[in-house]
């Protein structure tokens, strides 16, 4: 069985994914709301994945990111009247040093824009969602994946 498949899922592995991808962002978002002062607009931008809907071979990771997306929709509704926007960026395959040459060739073949992403692609999307230009955007997941997983 492949690591990360349903046959290898354990309580411990699932707990680790949830701690990082759900348990940490939830109280951090709550702290933003508690510390809010004045009328300055605020926003939260979480990082999810373009495969949160289905990620075979990475069951625990995909599940935790799907829960993060549910969290962002709920908190976006709770915090909108207070001027706090909550959104997420969902990267596709991004080269952060873990994708080998063999996998780059496979990924490039299935990404409509014909390449893996880079950290700057994701950073640009986060900056956009955090900017004044996105002042009326909340509860959204911006897929930044070159068309992957549409």
Q: Specify the pLDDT at position 1.
A: 66
Taking 50 as the pLDDT cut, the residues of the chain under it are none
Q: Specify the pLDDT at position 38.
A: 81
Place of tokens 């069951």: 59
Q: Specify the pLDDT at position 58.
A: 84
Question: Which CA distances in Å does 92 have to 33, 118, 121, 122?
Answer: 29, 10, 10, 9
Q: Specify the pLDDT at position 66.
A: 94
Q: Give the fold, CATH level 3, of 6-144.
A: Rossmann fold (3.40.50)
CA-CA distance, 87 to 131, in Å (whole number)?
12
pTM over 0.85, yes/no: yes
| Cα 75 → chain centroid | 15
Instruction: Take residue 7 and report the two structure tokens written for it.
Output: 């046959």
Q: Where are the beta strands (DSSP E) in the chain?
A: 42-47, 84-91, 141-144
By annotation, the residues acting in catalysis are 61
């Amino acid at each position: 069985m492949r690591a990360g498949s349903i046959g290898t899922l354990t309580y411990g592995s699932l707990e680790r994914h949830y701690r990082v991808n759900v348990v940490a962002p939830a109280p951090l978002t709550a702290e933003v709301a508690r510390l809010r002062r004045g009328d300055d607009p605020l926003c939260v931008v979480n990082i999810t994945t373009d495969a949160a809907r289905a990620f075979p071979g990475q069951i625990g990771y995909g599940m935790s990111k799907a829960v993060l997306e549910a969290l962002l929709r709920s908190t976006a509704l709770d915090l909108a009247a207070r001027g706090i926007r909550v959104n997420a960026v969902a990267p596709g395959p991004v080269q952060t040093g873990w994708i080998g040459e063999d996998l780059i060739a496979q990924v490039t073949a299935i990404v409509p824009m014909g390449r893996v992403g880079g950290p700057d692609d994701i950073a640009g999307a986060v900056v956009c969602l955090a900017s004044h230009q996105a002042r009326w955007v909340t509860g959204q997941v911006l897929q930044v994946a070159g068309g992957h997983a549409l």
